[in-house]
A and B are shown apart, each in its own frame.
Chain A
Amino acid sequence: MAEPNWQLAYKQETLKKRARFIQQIRAFFIEEDFLEIETPYRIPANAPELHIDAIPSTDWFLQTSPELCMKRLLAAGYDKLFQVCHCWRAGERGTTHLPEYSMLEWYRSDCDYHQLMLDCEAMLLHLNSGQQLNKQGQSIDLSPPWPRMTITEAFSQFSSIPLEIALATDKFDPIIALEIEPNLPTDRPIFLTEYPVEHASLARKKTSDHKVAERFELYIGGLELANGFSELTDPVEQRQRFTREESQRRKQGKPPYPSPEPFLKELTSLSPAAGIALGVDRLIMLLCDKTRIDEVVAFTPEQL
């Protein structure tokens, strides 16, 4: 008898923990009175975004996020929803990226992005008994509230060029990835908040400052875990933003995407709401103290 495949066998302990954590995530949201929802993985149109490429599936696409269906349900009157599902993004493969990965999304009506940050704090404390998390020997203090830092503050503290210049010269993303992310505190979780509106395609503008959107990203131990925002509920502005993303996609020679018409139509009925997407595999990496996403999934694409 041949020796069992050890590259699969060695993950068994981690996968047992993963299964328990995912059960606890579900228990947390059910306890908070959220409804667990399943929406189709294969859809006719994703939200067009410049930097997210969908994988075609015959004449439709695999979802890059379940957000459009989730928001249509919100608009139909469902008030608290969550989903754990698979999403696909073409070409994304690295230490913390898989082209097929697990996403946790949750949505609440009648609230804004501040409530979602509170949810993140409460969920982490539900999953991790005790207020300390250990990441490769570094201890992370989870006691709430976690620090919040605006993008403007992050640029003035860590960036080699001012935010306005970064935006004007298309350097926003490299500065975030190469200058800000590596310098964020690693002993505390942190929320980066108030993203420039051109970097928040589906988020509502802040009423007090129209240049920024009510969007945040959660980082724990240097790992980007979640992206949340107050939902844009204006169908006219949403259509304009989709059109802009789509025309930028075409300028870069990317394949055209169809417009998600039912979503745009039903957005009219959406009252104020907020929603968030959290990378489940990365959360498991953090909770199991693993450095590569490969270690927390049963199969990577290379193993198939």
Chain B
Amino acid sequence: MYSCSDLKKGLKLLIDEEPHVIVQYDFTKPGKGQALYKCKLRNMITGALFDRTYRSGESFAPASLEERDMQYLYQDDSGYIFMDKKTYEQIILTEETLGDDKYFLVDNMDVEILMYGERAIGISLPIFVNLRVTQSDPWVKGDTAAGNNKPATVETGYTLQVPSFVEEGTLIQIDTRTRNYVTRVKE
């Protein structure tokens, strides 16, 4: 069982017998009062999103999901296509099922597909993903401060803050847990 202190983004829980994933999480505490754990949950079967606030003392059953090693192939009108590398079986995940994870898929990437019985209900991303910057304002000459940042959009459409010296066309590493820039990748 999980307690409130285990709650975090990405944790998978069984609620009303169905698997749910925490897509947003925050801890809050009014004045000297009781701790509250604010969660936005996604039902991994129906895709329904809803908010729920828990109070300390509550406990949660983990959603035990099987993981299958697969490879991401490509995206088409039907959704995102993955293939089992041993059996060559292909499955399709929709944009709703993937949520923001869709921004971190690179063709031919190995991922783990989360299975609820026979059903694929999500993916487990590698911790670090390399993506190419496709749009960012040019570096301003003279801007040499080490900490200066600017927004950049990568090939999958995801936008994040990067150091000002990162230019269009640069391959960058992103931490998929925090979704933050880590470093430039040497090619």
Contacts and interface: CB of A to CB of B under 8 A. Distances in A.
B131 to A, nearest CB: 16
Interface string A89-123: 00111111100000000000000000000000000
B161 A10 contact: yes
Contacts of B27: 92-95, 97
B55 interface: yes
A11 to B, nearest CB: 6
A181 B30 contact: yes
Nearest to B146: A9
Nearest to A13: B147
B138 to A, nearest CB: 19
B36 A177 contact: yes
Interface string B70-112: 0000000000000000000000000000000000000000000
Given A51-B34, A97-B27, A181-B30, A11 B183 contact: no
A123 B4 CA distance: 37
Contacts of B183: 2-3, 6
Interface residues of B, number: 28
A6 B32 contact: no
A121 to B, nearest CB: 20
A6 B148 CA distance: 9
A51 B33 contact: yes
A173 B56 CA distance: 12
Central interface residue in B33, B53, B148, by most chain A CB within 10 Å: B33
B36 A178 contact: yes
B145 interface: yes
A176 B30 CA distance: 7
Contacts of B5: 91
B145 A174 contact: no
Contacts of A195: 31
Nearest to B180: A7
B145 A6 contact: no
Given A10-B149, A173-B34, 11 more contacts: A9-B163, A10-B148, A12-B147, A49-B32, A51-B35, A91-B35, A92-B29, A173-B30, A176-B33, A177-B36, A227-B31
5 contacts: A92-B27, A95-B26, A172-B33, A173-B31, A173-B36
